[in-house]
Amino acid sequence: MTSDSRTYLDPEVIEKISGLELKARLIVEGFISGLHKSPFRGFSVEFAEHREYVPGDDMRFLDWKVFGKTDRLYIKRYEEETNLEAHLVVDASESMAYTSRDGKGPSKFEYACWSAASLAHLITQQQDGAGLVLFDEQVRKVVPARNNRAHLGNIIHELESAEPARGTGIARALNEAGEAVRRRGLVILFSDLMDDGDEILKGLKQVRQRGHEVLLFHVLAHDEVTFPFDRLTRFEGMEEVSQITADPVALRTAYLTEVKEFRRRLRRVCLANRIDLVEMDTAESLAVVLQAYLAKRASVRRR
């Protein structure tokens, strides 16, 4: 792969999405927009407001000056200002190498890398911490989260150096990513999800149960979404799957039904566990996909 970081930091993508706010519900502790005010209340940093005392409150935080003036008990509340810690978890298994039947356009892995690098750019630009986890059958590389621009180069380098290979172990990667995030943060997964469905869903739930926010980019090639094959075709297996020659017309209905059912189940699990799901087709403009998602999240936050 080329060593030029512009391969992944597409100027069109950065230009179109950098002005949008990626805020509270997409993250946990901080706003990528630069408004780093935590949605959690603490008692350690900046005074926010008073509220009336209720039995059970910690007496240490009573404001005795206000009591002296009003003869009423009030608790000091503080708003902690923190930075986001986000881990970009990128599937580098062999199935991610698929491009399209005509060989044009990006592979799923390239599309995932463009997405991950673009979000890493925005995150570090706002002084939030971005980390990277590359995985196939096992976790291949972990880059700890940092919040400086120089660190972005480390993430880009690892993405450029990686080549899709071997099988997939999504549940293990999610588990290690969840453990690597030192405090409640954001785990962003980029994958075609070509793995055991039950294990994938179990891994997603476990990350959420640790208190992390989860954002899932489900990356599929256009051929996988539409199954456009119309003549006798030899399908070459990936991830240790053998070749098969078949009539795709006879398979199309059953195949598309399977894909539709899996995506429906995935949406249901994500909704139930408050996981943001973005379905990606490699034939679509990445700038448009990311811009639409970030605009949607900003709209939810404003409401």
Residue 156: other Cβ atoms inside 10 A? 23
Give the position of tokens 């120089």. Answer: 150
Q: Which of 94-98, 121-125, 170-174 is modeled with the greatest confidence?
A: 94-98
Concatenating the DSSP letter of every residue in 96-121 gives GG---TT--S--HHHHHHHHHHHHHH
Give the angle subtended at the CA of 285 by the CAs of 252 and 31, to the nearest 5°.
120
- Is residue 125 within 8 A of residue 18, CB to CB? The reply is yes
Q: Whole-prediction pTM value?
A: 0.73
φ, ψ for residue 6, nearest 5 deg: -70, -15
- Give per-residue burial for 160-184: e unless 16+ CB within 10 Å, then b: bebebebbbbbbbbbbbbbebbeeb
Q: How confident is the model at residue 49 (pLDDT cuts 50, 70, 90)?
A: low
pLDDT at 219: 96
Is residue 88 over pLDDT 80?
yes
How far is Cα 190 from Cα 112, in angstroms, rounded to an integer?
6
Is residue 19 over pLDDT 60?
no
pLDDT at 190: 96
Comparing 172 with 9, the larger pLDDT belongs to: 172
How far is Cα 294 from Cα 278, in angstroms, rounded to an integer?
11
SS (H, E, C) 218-260: EEECHHHHHCCCCCCEEECCCCCCCCEEECHHHHHHHHHHHHH
pLDDT at 50: 67
- Give the three-class secondary structure for 278: strand
Is residue 132 over pLDDT 60?
yes
Q: How confident is the model at residue 89 (pLDDT cuts 50, 70, 90)?
A: very high
Calculate the CA dihedral of residues 105, 110, 112, 113 and round it to 10 degrees.
-140
pLDDT at 16: 55
Q: Which domains does the chain have, with CATH numbers?
A: 5-32+83-302 (3.40.50.410), 37-81 (no CATH)
Q: How confident is the model at residue 174 (pLDDT cuts 50, 70, 90)?
A: confident
pLDDT at 47: 45
Q: What is the mean pLDDT of the chain?
A: 76
pLDDT at 91: 95
pLDDT at 52: 75
Percent over 90 (pLDDT), the chain: 21
Is residue 20 over pLDDT 80?
no
Q: Side-chain half-sphere of 247: how many Cα atoms within 13 Å?
A: 2
Is residue 7 over pLDDT 50?
yes
- Is residue 98 within 8 A of residue 122, CB to CB? The reply is no
pLDDT at 30: 31
pLDDT in tens, 189-247: 999 998 888 888 888 888 888 888 899 999 999 999 988 877 776 766 665 666 777 77
The whole-number average pLDDT for the span 103-108 is 83
Is residue 95 over pLDDT 70?
yes
How far is Cα 102 from Cα 95, in angstroms, rounded to an integer?
17
pLDDT at 28: 27
Which of 32-36, 107-111, 184-188, 213-217 shows the lowest per-residue confidence on average (mean pLDDT)? 32-36
